Amino acid sequence: MKYARVDVDGRAHWARATAPDTLELLSASPLESPAPSVTGELPVTGARWLPPVIPPVFYAVGFNYPRHIAEHGAATPARPEIGYRANNALTGHGSPIVKPADVTGRFEAEPELVAVIGRRMRHASYDEARAGVFGWTIGNDVSARTWQHEDRTFWRAKNSDTFKPMGPWIETAVDALAQTTTLSVNGEIRARFPTGDMVFDPYDYIVAMSRRLTLHPGDVLWMGAESTCRLAPGDTVAVEISGIGVLSNPVQEEAPQEGQQP
Amino acid sequence: MKYARVDVDGRAHWARATAPDTLELLSASPLESPAPSVTGELPVTGARWLPPVIPPVFYAVGFNYPRHIAEHGAATPARPEIGYRANNALTGHGSPIVKPADVTGRFEAEPELVAVIGRRMRHASYDEARAGVFGWTIGNDVSARTWQHEDRTFWRAKNSDTFKPMGPWIETAVDALAQTTTLSVNGEIRARFPTGDMVFDPYDYIVAMSRRLTLHPGDVLWMGAESTCRLAPGDTVAVEISGIGVLSNPVQEEAPQEGQQP
């Protein structure tokens, strides 16, 4: 099943895609209610997609694909060590990625598989971790490299508004580690890699994390990228993961602010 | 006014302290509703305090007090650069800080002033930042130093469950930068410093952050500490900020987990 969140008349609604062209609106979050009722229908065309979940905690893996690590001359992580992103940066499928006017240097896409947590987990076993993932979505970990290298934290390099597109929906029925991730810009393929070619898989992370912390329904775990590519205003960037869907976003230049230096 | 969240029969309720011994339960969050109605009363004695807000984004300043920076031989930050903590780690006034059984080395308290954001802000001026703070609470940025130095991120050093006590309430009527922070363990004072002796104040941070990101009602901004002190199981640690209140938590040793190596 594909679960999404859409904006209807300025309000967020949970929905599910039961046919290719129709979304059924739901009475409640499928993460909180096992059998939400259907309250209406919406055509897929023209839907305003929201991030499919607003996580209590937004977890993100750094280096996790061997080819990516080798290209950067980085050390292969010896243990699953998690990082964070920030909810303010989330945006939905189809919404613009806004490139700040004063970003210089490489402005890049990172196509990522995202696990959505479905159960409260502490001290989870590997099998409990597998059972505790509700479903899978797609993330684009947009990054301004000059800021990433200049700053002590990732606050503006990776967490400026609109830098974290996620969606279009959560797919609950897919073998997520046996899929192919494809990154395209303006319809041209820039990268393609197997989702499962990871140093540590999502369940390894959940086992390690849950020794120290409680995972909650709706938490998300972004799994890192093997390849990246540059973005420029006017581009449309698409991240496709087979069996899940396509997350596509136009790139826009930020409008100048009143009174702000150029 | 003092606004709190308390657990009543397993459910979170907003409340306000209008008399020293009584809490009024509220129909809605004062962050969302300008005039919530009173739905009941509760004696302050025996109240089960929850973190006074669960933030959409949990922001935290690192080095921000000149004496703390000097003691660490660190460079004074040239600009307000924000970091993050994670909601799983939050706990309320009176609840235990659980020291993991395998933490070695210094396990420490960091007493912090916390700004609670009240308005949506983007491109805020200094005056807009001042008007955009709803109120103030107290945080204890509990840290396991060995993990802090070993790890690439702060995930377990600062974000293990129970490592982020916050509370007891949000005080909306206080000149928060003209107060005194006092850190005590088992009733013995370990540190005392003026809240306002910061490199960059909360409004400087909000101005800088909101150039890149949208702040939302309920976001919290922890402002850093001047001094720290060690904690051990059996201790009770108290952070007092004059004009706001006292955040007090017992420290416990984690119970061993089945099948986990000692």
pLDDT tens-digit profile of A165-210?
Answer: 999 999 999 999 999 999 999 999 999 999 999 999 999 999 999 9
Residue for token pair 């964070």: A84
Residue A44 C-beta-side C-alpha neighbours within 13 Å: 13
CA dist list (Å): B186 to A70, A127, B174, B189, B237: 51, 43, 27, 9, 6
Identify whether the C-beta of residue A205 lies closer than 8 Å to the C-beta of residue A190: no
Smallest Cα–Cα separation from B209: which of B121, B85, B104? B121
User: For chains A and B, what is the number of CB pairs under 8 angstroms?
Assistant: 86
The percent of residues above 90 in pLDDT, for chain A, comes to 92
Q: What is the pLDDT of residue B20?
A: 86
Pick from A176-180, B197-201, B243-247, B258-262: least confident? B258-262
Q: What is the pLDDT of residue A258?
A: 64
pLDDT at B261 over 80: no
pTM of the model: 0.96
Identify whether the C-beta of residue A81 lies closer than 8 Å to the C-beta of residue B148: no
The mean pLDDT of A97-111, rounded to a whole number, is: 97
pLDDT at A262 over 50: no
How sure is the predictor about B260, in pLDDT bands with cuts at 50, 70 and 90? Answer: low
Identify whether the C-beta of residue A42 lies closer than 8 Å to the C-beta of residue A25: yes
φ and ψ of B133, to 5 deg: -90, 125
Sheet holding A143-144, edge to edge: A143-144, A107-109, A229-230
Q: How far is A216 from chain B (nearest CA, A)?
A: 8
Instruction: Please indicate whether, in this complex, the C-beta atoms of B89 and A123 are within 8 angstroms of each other.
Output: no
How sure is the predictor about A71, in pLDDT bands with cuts at 50, 70 and 90? Answer: confident
Mapped onto helix, strand or coil, the DSSP state of residue A208 is helix
How sure is the predictor about B33, in pLDDT bands with cuts at 50, 70 and 90? Answer: confident
The tokens for B193 are 């410093």
> At B80, which amino acid appears?
P
How sure is the predictor about B258, in pLDDT bands with cuts at 50, 70 and 90? Answer: low
**ipTM value of the model?**
0.95
For chain A, give the longest Cα–Cα distance: 56
The percent of residues above 90 in pLDDT, for chain B, comes to 92
Identify whether the C-beta of residue A122 lies closer than 8 Å to the C-beta of residue A214: yes
CA distance A218 to A3: 12
Identify whether the C-beta of residue A168 lies closer than 8 Å to the C-beta of residue A247: yes
CA distance B13 to B28: 8
Instruction: Please indicate whether, in this complex, the C-beta atoms of A209 and B155 are within 8 angstroms of each other.
Output: yes
For B96-114, b/e burial (b = at least 16 CB within 10 A) is: bbbbbeebeeebbbbbbbb
Q: Does B146 touch chain A (CB under 8 A)?
A: no
Instruction: Please indicate whether, in this complex, the C-beta atoms of A87 and B56 are within 8 angstroms of each other.
Output: yes
Query: What one-character DSSP code corresponds to residue B121?
Result: B
CA dist list (Å): A250 to A138, A145, B58: 16, 19, 29
Q: How far is B21 from chain A (nearest CA, A)?
A: 33
Smallest Cα–Cα separation from A183: which of A174, A195, A175, A171? A195
pLDDT tens per residue, range B78-128: 999 999 999 999 999 999 999 999 999 999 999 999 999 999 999 999 999
pLDDT tens per residue, range A127-178: 999 999 999 999 999 999 999 999 999 999 999 999 999 999 999 999 999 9
CA of residue B152 relative to chain centroid, distance: 23
Identify whether the C-beta of residue A31 lies closer than 8 Å to the C-beta of residue A1: no
Instruction: Please indicate whether, in this complex, the C-beta atoms of B122 and A161 are within 8 angstroms of each other.
Output: yes
Residue ranges with strand state E in chain B = 2-8, 11-19, 22-26, 38-43, 49-50, 58-60, 83-84, 90-91, 97-99, 107-109, 111-117, 133-140, 143-144, 164-171, 180-185, 188-194, 220-222, 229-230, 236-241, 245-253
How sure is the predictor about B262, in pLDDT bands with cuts at 50, 70 and 90? Answer: very low
How sure is the predictor about A256, in pLDDT bands with cuts at 50, 70 and 90? Answer: confident
CB proximity list for B139: less than 8 A, separation 6 or greater: B111, B112, B113, B114, B164, B165, B166, B220, B222, B239, B247
Average pLDDT, chain B: 95
Residues of A within 8 A of B100 (CB-CB) are 212
The tokens for A251 are 């790139």
Smallest Cα–Cα separation from B178: which of B224, B129, B242? B242
Residues of B within 8 A of A257 (CB-CB) are 123
Instruction: Please indicate whether, in this complex, the C-beta atoms of A88 and B54 are within 8 angstroms of each other.
Output: no
Q: What is the pLDDT of residue A257?
A: 73
The tokens for A108 are 């890049």
> At B253, which amino acid appears?
E
The tokens for B177 are 């930068």
Q: What is the pLDDT of residue A163?
A: 98
Q: What is the pLDDT of residue A260?
A: 54
